[in-house]
Amino acid sequence: MAGTQSGGKEISVGGELRRQPNRFTDRITPDGTWPVEPGRYRLIVSLACPWAHRSIIVRGLLGLQDVISMGVVDPLRDDTGWRFTLDEGDQDPVLKIKYLSEAYLATDPTYDRRVTVPSIVDVPSGKVVTNDFPQITRDLHTEWRAFHRAGAPDLYPEAMRDEIEAVAEPIYRNINNGVYRCGFATTQEAYDNAYTDLWDELDRVSARLESRRYLMGDRITEADIRLFPTLVRFDAVYHGHFKCNRQKLTEMPVLWAYARDLFQTPGFGDTVDWDHIKRHYYVTHRHLNPSGVVPQGPDPSVWNEPHNRA
């Protein structure tokens, strides 16, 4: 179906968000075309982006910081895409490029779609290996195991993978992507459908977490890492900016305690950058917030209140 563009994301004629497929889907494996090799690859992220956030968390929890380097783009995305203006000389210090789009064009000179994060770039060639964000974290678990830190958690245990995917798929469809479906809807019907899907799923997840500490039970897994980036942005961005306003996260006792539990776990809260998150959404999405004014609240200190879930 033909569509129009809004905020760099495809919107269908029916008013509903349609995401473009990931263009680069190669994988880094011990015996593949792109071999596992410490120091060879660079993970490019935005601290504002929930899809990139999950890769930051996994990289840290598994202790891969010295194995896969990381570059951070400016939270404000302009017409040329993600920029490296946070670094000296306005260029990434390793890749020596000013825009992530340069790596995309080095890989495919005809590329004319949206440039996305996270992306993993091969440093020697400057080419993008993958921007397939779901597979990136799976492969950090499975393909880089030889370089995990001692005592690293098994976030994607083989015996639980089918269950993790079964739980995480509706979370992605209705919550992770659901907030965007609400925010970028251009018809009332599309918004209403997305809103209903979002809150039905949040209620289901809340009910699941009433009887278990984490989504899979008593251990943190990939499923929790996929949900957390949306929850941590909920009151600051999605509740108002994306019209996901039945309740605030702080008004949902189970989910709020669960989110604080994760936030206070090393490797989660210390990866949250409130300034990047709020400036990206409220300044970049001028069609939703024409003034570009960034709200002062909410108070982030509440995230450190006791969660009582241990």
Residues 192, 288: Cα–Cα separation, whole Å = 17
Residue of 180, 191, 238, 281 with catalytic role? 180
Cβ(118)–Cβ(136) below 8 Å = yes
Pairwise CA distance, residues 227 & 286, whole Å: 26
Beta bridge partners of 44: 71, 119
- What whole-number distance in Å separates Cα of residue 190 and Cα of residue 17? 8
Q: List the structure tokens of 208.
A: 């699941």
- Other residues' Cβ atoms within 10 Å of the Cβ of residue 199: 17
DSSP for 121-166? Answer: EETTTTEEEE--HHHHHHHHHHTSGGGSPTT---SS-GGGHHHHHH
Handedness of CA 252, 257, 260, 261 (dihedral sign): negative
Q: Tell whether 123 is in a known binding site.
A: no
> Is residue 82 a known part of a binding site?
yes
Assess whether 180 carries a catalytic annotation.
yes
Ligand-binding annotation for 145, yes or no, is no
73 is in an annotated binding site: no
Neighbours of 18 (CB within 10 A): 15
Check the annotation: does 293 bind a ligand. no
Does the annotation count 49 as an active-site position?
yes
Q: What are phi and psi of 130, to 5 degrees?
A: -155, 145
Q: Which residues are annotated as a binding site for glutathione?
A: 82, 114-117
Q: Which residues are annotated as a binding site?
A: 82, 114-117
**Which residues are known to be catalytic?**
49, 180
